[in-house]
């Protein structure tokens, strides 16, 4: 189940928790973050190819690309036994920004996006069927957990726009790391 916890950025005890899509979308919308749920238009078999995954969501993908001007999509898939999982996890655990929106649609599995906006921390657990669009220059971090398990469609405007620009703060270490199911 999707979940949003909101914290004051100076304390790691939640001010509010939301677990319905409508409530999460409303709260994230207040800080400019898009949160949607999509359904596949055809079954997706485990181990489906990138083309098969994209075909299953083609209508929503085309709509979002048209609305926001994204130019490319791809599919990333990580399993708990991936040999580089620790390095991949560490890559975006610290607070950073991007020069373009960071947009992810979770086809399967889950991950934790944590946003730092206007003195608040928004911890968003994204699960299957969730789309999150974090606006460019929004400070955030992402945790896929120690044993990542997800398939996600990624949207891009420019190939180099997804490079992380780290803030140098330690705020991400002051909040819980991702443990699916907690």
Cβ partners under 8 Å of residue 42, min gap 6: 55, 56
How deeply is 161 buried, as exposed, middle or buried, from its count of CB atoms within 10 A (0-12, 13-18, 19+)?
Answer: middle
pLDDT at 161: 62
pLDDT of res. 84: 94
Give pLDDT, residue 139: 98
Each residue's pLDDT, cut to its tens digit, for the chain (182 residues) gives 999 999 999 998 999 999 999 999 999 999 999 999 999 998 898 889 999 999 999 999 999 999 999 999 999 999 999 999 999 999 999 999 999 999 999 999 999 999 999 999 999 999 999 999 999 999 999 999 999 999 999 999 986 667 889 999 999 999 999 999 77
Residue 149 · residue 79 · CB < 8 Å: yes
Instruction: Supply the DSSP string of 79-145, one letter for each residue.
Output: -TT-TTHHHHHHHTSS-EE-SS-EEEEEEEEEEEEEEEETTEEEEEEEETTEEEEEPTT-EEEEE--
Scan for tokens 């398990």, then name that residue.
149
């Amino acid at each position: 189940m999707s979940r949003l916890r909101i914290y004051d950025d100076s304390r790691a005890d939640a001010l509010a928790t939301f677990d319905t899509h409508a409530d999460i979308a409303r709260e994230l919308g207040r800080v400019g973050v898009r949160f949607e749920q999509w359904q596949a238009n055809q079954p997706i078999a485990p181990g489906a190819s990138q083309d098969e995954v994209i075909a299953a969501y083609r209508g929503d993908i085309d709509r979002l690309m048209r609305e926001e001007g994204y130019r490319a999509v791809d599919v990333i898939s990580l399993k708990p036994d991936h040999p580089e999982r620790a390095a991949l996890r560490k890559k975006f655990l610290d607070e950073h920004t991007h020069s373009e929106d960071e947009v992810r649609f979770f086809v399967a599995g889950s991950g934790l996006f944590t946003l730092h906006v206007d003195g608040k921390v928004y911890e968003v657990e994204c699960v299957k069927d969730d789309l999150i669009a974090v606006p460019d220059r929004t400070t955030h971090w992402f945790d896929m957990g120690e044993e990542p398990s997800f398939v996600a469609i990624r949207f891009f405007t420019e190939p180099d726009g997804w490079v992380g620009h780290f803030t140098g703060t330690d705020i991400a270490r002051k909040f819980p790391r991702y443990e699916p199911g907690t």
